[in-house]
Amino acid sequence: MDVSTMSRVLWLGRTLRQRERWTETHLRDHQRRQLAKVRAFTTANSPFYRRFHQGLGNAPLAELPVLTKAALMDHYDEIITDPIVRLADLQAYLEGLHSDELFRGRYWVSATSGSSGRKSIIPNNRQEWAMILASYLRANQWAGLGRTDRSRSTGARDSL
């Protein structure tokens, strides 16, 4: 992992830990703002979401239709918001992957095993990947993993 990504992961880890102290009101306000950003972006950039959420622009999240894995994979190229990303290209990339190279120089790509009957393929840009890693780091910290003996014995806070 490059230094820039590691720095971002550590910064995001600290940010996520600070959010653990938010009040319910602060958390709900943050969720509303983020949902509004996601809605605006997907409506502007995804033909699928323009249809899927048509007339639901102000509906609460709980009232939006559920996007199933089957629907995601059936409409992948309409859902994805970056025109350089296409499902067939991602599948070919994963089949030929022999190192840690990025897809199109921009995306880390992961896939589910397909144990539920269908694989999902998920491209993540650098910022998204860093957030995923920070989330894993946070979960490990909750579980007490990654602490040194010194931090356990003195009660010192983790570095994040």
How many domains does the chain fold into?
A: 1
The confidence score (pLDDT) of residue 117 equals 85
Query: Which whole-number Å values give the CA distances from 88 to 69, 84, 95, 126, in the listed order?
Result: 17, 11, 11, 22
- The boundaries of the domain holding residue 30 are 3-154
Whether 98 is in a domain gets the answer yes
The confidence score (pLDDT) of residue 89 equals 97
Whether 110 is in a domain gets the answer yes
The confidence score (pLDDT) of residue 50 equals 93
pLDDT digit string, tens, across residues 48-85: 999 999 999 888 889 999 999 999 999 999 999 999 99
The confidence score (pLDDT) of residue 138 equals 87
Whether 32 is in a domain gets the answer yes
Predicted TM-score (pTM) of the model is 0.77
Q: What is the DSSP letter of 107?
A: B
Backbone angles phi, psi at 103, to 5 degrees: -70, 125
**Backbone torsion region of residue 114, taken as left when φ is above 0, otherwise alpha when ψ lies between -120 and 50, otherwise beta:** left
CA distance 148 to 156: 10
- Give the residues of the chain that fall short of pLDDT 50: 149-160
Both tokens of 98, joined, read: 């022999």
The confidence score (pLDDT) of residue 147 equals 58
Whether 160 is in a domain gets the answer no
Whether 159 is in a domain gets the answer no
**CATH number of the domain enclosing 72:** 3.40.50.12780
